């Protein structure tokens, strides 16, 4: 099988050996480095399922851009700087945002680092790939922060549903806007992670980093009602499935299940505009910043590694610019 690049690419790669087209483990040497797929090795090295999901998506797209059906078929040990540049150019031609392209490039570098560590590519090749720069620039975020009235309406819609599902969903919304959790952080939250004496939760975030989030009073009330009146104090996921007939199960929610729950509640609230689960995290950050909480504190509360990431959630300048623009007179 030839390594056939995408028709838009101006480069050609060497024909790979059969051993590189899939993960093959030989009985006589199950730990042979040349049999390891560096993409799979990189996925295993990631700390959370959320990160793996994102990188897996990147890998699939990269493979298709280079003419392969699956990233396991791509001979990563023959990847070079020119191929990384080709992928970047093709993504730019698709009008992909610079920050998103940066994520793709980070995935390429991560896989090539694994290939280098497994002695599948040499040091010079890896160094040239590592030195590739992502394009500069940024795009206006497609996300939004919900208004206070929207949050109140969303909570009210859940509260008015006097079922086990209503109690659960009110607690979910309250914790997401009150603590700024990511989808995967909420669905992986365990009863054992609740610190009752401090009204706080221990959250496992990106990069396998733990943090403590202190729960505001309104959110604690909803969470406590869900636990004390419905869920109980058994170990396991805090937020579990509720099946037809209001039957509470012990298995936790999936991130897709959480998205469907929030969309159902949004539609039930009638007038609330479309929002994503991550927009509830944006709402948390926006409210803190509007209440003049400093950026470093918001960074720590959100579990960000860099304050630069936190700054993307700061829309106070937008309101200042809007006010200035609308008040302009001639």
Over residues 113-124, the pLDDT tens digits come to 999 999 999 999
- Check whether 204 has a pLDDT greater than 70: yes
- Which range has the worst mean pLDDT, 70-79, 214-223, 317-326? 317-326
Query: Over pLDDT 90: what percentage of the chain?
Result: 62
Distance in angstroms (rounded) separating the CA atoms of residues 49 and 178: 23
SS3 state at 251: strand
Catalytically active residues are 182, 206, 278, 281, 304, 313
Return the pLDDT at 121: 93
- Check whether 152 has a pLDDT greater than 50: yes
Query: Over pLDDT 70: what percentage of the chain?
Result: 89
Distance in angstroms (rounded) separating the CA atoms of residues 90 and 71: 17
- Check whether 326 has a pLDDT greater than 90: no
**Global confidence as pTM:** 0.72
Return the pLDDT at 29: 46
Q: What domains sit in the chain, N to C, each tagged with a CATH number?
A: 18-130 (no CATH), 148-315 (1.10.443.10)
Distance in angstroms (rounded) separating the CA atoms of residues 245 and 242: 8
State the DSSP H helix or E strand holding residue 165, giving kind and residue range, or none if neither: helix 164-179
Band of residue 23 on the pLDDT scale cut at 50, 70, 90: very low
Return the pLDDT at 8: 53
Q: What is the pLDDT of residues 291-321, one digit of tens each?
A: 889 889 999 998 998 888 888 887 776 777 7
Return the pLDDT at 324: 76
pLDDT, mean of residues 185-191: 94
Band of residue 15 on the pLDDT scale cut at 50, 70, 90: very low
Band of residue 267 on the pLDDT scale cut at 50, 70, 90: very high
Neighbours of 224 (CB within 10 A): 15
């Amino acid at each position: 099988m030839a390594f056939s690049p995408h028709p838009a690419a101006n480069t050609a790669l060497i024909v790979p050996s059969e051993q590189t087209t899939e993960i093959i483990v030989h009985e006589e040497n199950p730990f042979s480095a040349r049999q390891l797929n560096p993409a799979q090795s990189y996925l295993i090295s990631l700390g959370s399922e959320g990160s793996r999901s994102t990188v897996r998506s990147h890998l699939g797209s990269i493979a298709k851009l280079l003419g392969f059906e699956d990233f396991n078929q791509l001979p990563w040990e023959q990847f070079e700087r020119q191929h990384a540049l080709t992928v970047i150019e093709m993504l730019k031609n698709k009008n992909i945002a610079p920050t998103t392209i940066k994520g793709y490039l980070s995935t390429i570098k991560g896989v090539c680092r694994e290939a280098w560590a497994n002695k599948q590519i040499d040091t010079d090749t890896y160094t040239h790939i590592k030195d590739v720069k992502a394009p500069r620039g940024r795009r206006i975020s497609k996300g939004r922060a919900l208004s206070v009235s929207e949050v109140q309406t969303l909570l009210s819609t859940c509260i008015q549903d006097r079922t086990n599902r209503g109690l659960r969903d009110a607690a979910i919304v309250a914790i997401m806007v009150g603590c700024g959790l990511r989808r995967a952080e909420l669905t992986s939250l365990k009863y054992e992670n609740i610190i009752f004496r401090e009204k706080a939760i221990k959250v496992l975030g990106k990069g396998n980093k733990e943090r403590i989030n202190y729960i505001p009073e309104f959110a604690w009330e909803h969470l406590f009602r869900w636990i004390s009146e419905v869920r109980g104090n058994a170990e396991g996921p805090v937020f579990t499935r509720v099946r037809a007939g209001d039957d509470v199960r012990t298995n936790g929610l999936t991130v897709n299940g959480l998205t469907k729950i929030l969309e159902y509640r949004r539609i039930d609230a009638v007038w609330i505009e479309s929002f994503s689960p991550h927009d509830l995290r944006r709402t948390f950050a926006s409210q803190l910043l509007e209440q003049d909480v400093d950026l470093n504190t918001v960074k720590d509360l959100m579990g960000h590694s860099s304050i630069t990431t936190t700054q993307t959630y700061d829309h106070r300048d937008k309101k200042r610019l809007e006010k200035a623009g609308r008040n302009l007179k001639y």
